[in-house]
Amino acid sequence: MTARCLIPAATAALGLWLGVVGGALAQQHVSIRMTNGTTLDAEVVKVGERSLSFRAGDSALAVDLPYDQIATVVWPDPSEWIQARQFFDTGRFQEAAGVYEKLAASKVDPRLGYPSPGNYATLAQRRLVECHRRRGDAAAVAKSLPNIETDRLPAGERELPAALHAWAALGQNEWNRVIEIAEKAVADGLSAASEEGVELAYLSGVAYRNAGRPDDALIAFGRAYALSAGADLRLSRAAMEEALRTL
- Domain segments of the chain as ranges: 173-247
What is the spatial distance between Cα 87 and Cα 97, in angstroms, rounded to a whole number?
A: 9
Is the pLDDT reported for residue 1 higher than 60?
Answer: no
pLDDT at 231: 66
43-60 tens-digit pLDDT: 999 999 999 999 998 888
pLDDT at 18: 38
| pTM score | 0.87
Angle at 44 between CA 128 and CA 126, to 5 degrees: 10
Is the pLDDT reported for residue 78 higher than 90?
Answer: yes
Please tell me the least confidently modeled range out of 4-18, 70-84, 88-102, 146-160: 4-18
Is the pLDDT reported for residue 5 higher than 70?
Answer: no
Q: Give me the DSSP letters along 199-213.
A: HHHHHHHHHHHHTT-
| Structure confidence at residue 228 as a pLDDT band (50, 70, 90) | confident
The type of residue at 232 is D
pLDDT at 212: 98
| Structure confidence at residue 112 as a pLDDT band (50, 70, 90) | very high
The type of residue at 228 is S
162-214 tens-digit pLDDT: 999 999 999 999 999 999 999 999 999 999 989 999 999 999 999 999 999 99
| Structure confidence at residue 227 as a pLDDT band (50, 70, 90) | confident
